[in-house]
Chains A and B, each alone.
Chain A
Amino acid sequence: MNTRYRILKAEYLNVDTFLLTVQSELISKKARPGQIVTIKCGDEGGVILRRPISICSVDREKGTFDIAIQIRGKGTKILSKFKAGDMIDIMGPLGQGFSLYPKHKKIIAIGGGIGIFPLLQLLKDHPAENKKAILGFRNKSCVILEEEFRQACNELFISTDDGSYGDKGFVTDTLKKVMDKEPADMLFFCGPLPMMKLGVEIAKEYNTPCEVSMEQRMGCGIGACLVCVCKTKKEDDWEYTQVCKMGPVFSGDKIIID
């Protein structure tokens, strides 16, 4: 099994987030929006676990895909040192992506912070006629991939927590305003847990189906170790389900966000 691929481009999107373009016929052809890959950090520093990262976008013709990574700890710090031309060990695509149903004509993708990344390919691939994106960031310096998102959708809304760019406030505030004006028939969320929890509630209020992309600390990345679980409904009960294998994307009426 080959998991070693060449990095074609490595560039910073802002001070702590970088984007890698990787050459892989297999991953770019097979990947569906919302799926993840797991990346080996290398042998330095005793970092043994692969890092799960959402696929940000794919170029199926060129056979490449992009992943965007924020430096958060030791592992992502090591990954930030990779340069164009280097080989990198990537397993994927893994997990379940977003649902692309033709019956959904008006969709809204709502993302917060680094949660915006998997939404880019979702917007590119979704067959809906009307595609909107609502992206939230901490402040102006955190705003990234704005142009890429603008091109992938019909209408883009940006908000920042401090109002230094776009609207001041949270994406969920913008979502309500947008839904009041022109309701969508499907919502997609990816971002911090409180944002997704509120998002699922708003979707319910508007009687609109939704999907959320969950994040959890992972072990094997393929569903064997039962480490990266989240709560999901099971008949009248609930169970812990693997985020890596059964997710990271879950239906809003299946997921339980405590």
Chain B
Amino acid sequence: MRENINLKVNIGGLELKNPVIAASGCFGFGREYSRFFDIKRLGGIAVRGLTLQPQKGNPPPRIAETPSGILNSVGLQNPGVHTFIEKEIPFLRKIDTTIIANVSGNTIEEYESMAEILSNADVDAIELNLSCPNVQEGCLRFGSSAQKVESVVSRVKNYAKKPLLVKLTPNVTDITEIAKAAEEAGADSVSLINTILGMAINAKTRRPILGSITGGLSGPAVKPIALRMVYEVSRAVKIPVIGMGGICNATDAIEFLLAGASAVMIGTAGFANPMVWVETIEGIEDYMAENSINSVTELIGGLIV
């Protein structure tokens, strides 16, 4: 790290050494990418989406490539929160970075239960996934109305003894209403955007490409939508916003910071380039050096309009 450059950010009580986080779902529990780069360089890791019980996930194919993007329908395949605590936290804790547990539930009680379990586990923050488009029940159902978000978040808040991030879905009429509801209910920050519901069809076979017919779109194709939503939400709420959606490099990340994000998450871009997280951190440093910016916080919301 360069001298005189401060990359530290504070996301609603969660201290990050830099604003670049590995996005949930794309980074597993860190083991695979640790073979490619020193993952302690990350500002944080949002682990694969966890549920109370193990989940088998959706039938394959689970991915379809679309212009400048991908649709996925993994369906929250995971070993369950207990196995995560037993088998994965010991590995993750050897790494000097922030661990964010991403959780999904079928019922409010499941969200409460996981918040309680994880508050007693060695993680740094909890990210409530109210927005997975790929499961039959729960999740998106909770995330798509302000009233439901308010009720889930306020009830989870009773059990969450760690900073609580609420991940928002873009598949709503007005994302700022949802963000405000999360804030009022006690969220410490909001992260957005989750994937955009989409579909791909093979005209030759007349069948959907994905095993579960529809999936969530991510990648550069969604970046303009994500940027717009981060811009709108950061003006609508006082809590910090974590921005994501199609970030592939430092320039993309800086655009999100300027739009109002206090940190960014990167996922899909790592599929093509496993070094994307490190390159983004270094690129932000270069940009700050070139523009004589000492603290990355000076960039947050720095958009000139």
Is there an interface contact between B271 and A221, defined as CB atoms closer than 8 Å?
A: yes
Is there an interface contact between A40 and B272, defined as CB atoms closer than 8 Å?
A: yes
User: Is A32 among interface residues, defined by CB-CB distance under 8 A?
Assistant: no
Q: Which residues of chain B in 254-294 are interfacial with respect to chain A, using CB atoms and an 8 Å cutoff?
A: 268-275
Q: A226-B74, A227-B72, A229-B57 are in contact. Are A47 and B32 (CB under 8 A)?
A: no
Is there an interface contact between B60 and A219, defined as CB atoms closer than 8 Å?
A: no
User: Is B13 among interface residues, defined by CB-CB distance under 8 A?
Assistant: no
Q: A220-B26, A226-B74 are in contact. Are A50 and B272 (CB under 8 A)?
A: yes
- Cβ-neighbour of A48 out of B61, B74, B77, B271 (below 8 A): B271
Residues of A within 8 A of B12 (CB): none
User: Is A1 among interface residues, defined by CB-CB distance under 8 A?
Assistant: yes
Residues of B within 8 A of A75 (CB): 65
* A237–chain B nearest beta-carbon distance, Å: 9
Is there an interface contact between A49 and B70, defined as CB atoms closer than 8 Å?
A: yes
Is there an interface contact between B32 and A239, defined as CB atoms closer than 8 Å?
A: no
Q: How many residues belonging to A are interface residues under a CB distance threshold of 8 Å?
A: 29
Is there an interface contact between B60 and A48, defined as CB atoms closer than 8 Å?
A: no
User: Is B56 among interface residues, defined by CB-CB distance under 8 A?
Assistant: yes
Residues of A within 8 A of B270 (CB): 220, 224
User: Is A218 among interface residues, defined by CB-CB distance under 8 A?
Assistant: yes
Summarize B's interface: helix, strand, loop or mixed. Answer: loop
Is there an interface contact between B62 and A223, defined as CB atoms closer than 8 Å?
A: no
**Which of B31, B32, B221, B271 is the most central at the interface, judged by chain A CB atoms within 10 Å of its CB?**
B271
Distance between Cα atoms of A160 and B221 in the complex (Å):
43
User: Is A217 among interface residues, defined by CB-CB distance under 8 A?
Assistant: yes
Q: A1-B36, A228-B62 are in contact. Are A240 and B28 (CB under 8 A)?
A: no
Is there an interface contact between A223 and B72, defined as CB atoms closer than 8 Å?
A: no
Is there an interface contact between B74 and A224, defined as CB atoms closer than 8 Å?
A: no
Is there an interface contact between B274 and A227, defined as CB atoms closer than 8 Å?
A: no
Is there an interface contact between A225 and B25, defined as CB atoms closer than 8 Å?
A: yes
Is there an interface contact between B61 and A216, defined as CB atoms closer than 8 Å?
A: yes
Q: Which residues of chain A in 25-79 are interfacial with respect to chain B, using CB atoms and an 8 Å cutoff?
A: 40, 45-50, 74-75
Is there an interface contact between A46 and B221, defined as CB atoms closer than 8 Å?
A: yes
Is there an interface contact between B220 and A228, defined as CB atoms closer than 8 Å?
A: no
- Cβ-neighbour of A219 out of B33, B36, B70, B77 (below 8 A): B70
* B222–chain A nearest beta-carbon distance, Å: 12
Residues of B within 8 A of A219 (CB): 26, 63, 70, 72, 271
Residues of B within 8 A of A91 (CB): 274
Q: Which residues of chain A in 168-191 are interfacial with respect to chain B, using CB atoms and an 8 Å cutoff?
A: none
Q: How many residues belonging to B are interface residues under a CB distance threshold of 8 Å?
A: 38
Summarize A's interface: helix, strand, loop or mixed. Answer: loop
Residues of A within 8 A of B27 (CB): 224
Distance between Cα atoms of A217 and B208 in the complex (Å):
14
- Cβ-neighbour of B271 out of A1, A45, A46, A49 (below 8 A): A49
Residues of A within 8 A of B67 (CB): 45-46
Residues of B within 8 A of A230 (CB): 60
Is there an interface contact between A222 and B62, defined as CB atoms closer than 8 Å?
A: no
Distance between Cα atoms of A154 and B35 in the complex (Å):
40
User: Is A245 among interface residues, defined by CB-CB distance under 8 A?
Assistant: yes
Distance between Cα atoms of A91 and B270 in the complex (Å):
13
Q: A224-B27, A229-B77, A245-B32 are in contact. Are A47 and B65 (CB under 8 A)?
A: yes
Distance between Cα atoms of A230 and B77 in the complex (Å):
13
Instruction: Give the residue name and chain of the A residue nearest to B248 (CB).
Output: A48
* A251–chain B nearest beta-carbon distance, Å: 19
- 0/1 per residue, B8-45, Cβ < 8 Å to A? 00000000000000000111100111011100000000
Is there an interface contact between A50 and B271, defined as CB atoms closer than 8 Å?
A: yes
User: Is B162 among interface residues, defined by CB-CB distance under 8 A?
Assistant: no
Distance between Cα atoms of A119 and B219 in the complex (Å):
35
Distance between Cα atoms of A239 and B78 in the complex (Å):
11
Is there an interface contact between A240 and B274, defined as CB atoms closer than 8 Å?
A: no
Is there an interface contact between A48 and B70, defined as CB atoms closer than 8 Å?
A: yes
Is there an interface contact between B57 and A48, defined as CB atoms closer than 8 Å?
A: no
User: Is B185 among interface residues, defined by CB-CB distance under 8 A?
Assistant: no
- 0/1 per residue, B63-86, Cβ < 8 Å to A? 111011110101001000000000
Is there an interface contact between B62 and A48, defined as CB atoms closer than 8 Å?
A: no
Q: A1-B37, A48-B219, A219-B63 are in contact. Are A224 and B32 (CB under 8 A)?
A: yes
Q: Write the residues of chain A forming the contact surface with B, with a CB cutoff of 8 angstroms.
A: 1, 40, 45-50, 74-75, 91, 216-230, 239-240, 245
4 nearest A-B pairs in the assembled complex, by CB-CB distance: A46-B68, A224-B28, A224-B32, A46-B67
8 additional A-B pairs beyond A91-B274, A217-B209, A224-B32, beta carbons within 8 Å, are A1-B36, A40-B273, A46-B67, A46-B221, A48-B272, A216-B60, A224-B33, A226-B57
Complex A-B: 24 CB contacts under 8 Å? A1-B36, A1-B274, A40-B273, A46-B67, A46-B69, A49-B271, A50-B271, A74-B65, A217-B60, A218-B63, A219-B26, A219-B271, A220-B32, A224-B31, A224-B32, A224-B270, A225-B26, A225-B72, A225-B74, A225-B271, A226-B62, A226-B74, A228-B60, A229-B62
